Amino acid sequence: MQEVAPSISEYQLERGKPIPSLLHASVQTRLAVLLAKLEPNYLCFSELSLALNEWESVPDLSLYSKSDIDVSQDEAKVTRPPLCAIEILSASQTLDSLIDKVQKYFEHGVKSCWIVIPRLKSIYVFENATTYEVYRDHQVLMDKQLGIEVPLAEVFR
């Protein structure tokens, strides 16, 4: 019997990642709203295309220093690494694939990476490729690299 290869959507082909689910989108929106409140120091972007040397990625959210981005000029692919790249685990992704991405982000100059696991209401905050803290739904996330705090009760409600 011949196996049928799973079909890959245009979204997945274009972005190199699965289509976000309802839970994924909900957490992404809430987190983006909270991170947007960090202005004027930081700018938060959703689904920003990055071209970091020979590696391309589209993190779910990315955080830049306001001084690093000129929002009056458009760029199809940003070549400067974000201060923080945030990936949200989708139902069809593996945790290993996101851990591999964290490694790549650090190799390309990102200072902090978060892996969000919506079903477990937790966020792993990496300060390098092997050192991380885990924050759960009722805690206040503290990113020591960036000096920011995020109340997770507002993300996972």
Q: What is the pTM of this model?
A: 0.88
- In angstroms, what CA-CA distances link 78 with 30, 58, 98, 111, 132? 24, 10, 20, 16, 26
| Domains, the chain | 16-154 (3.90.1570.10)
Query: For the segment 8-37, what is each residue's pLDDT rounded down to a tens digit?
Result: 445 455 555 556 688 999 999 999 999 999
Q: How sure is the predictor about 140, in pLDDT bands with cuts at 50, 70 and 90?
A: very high
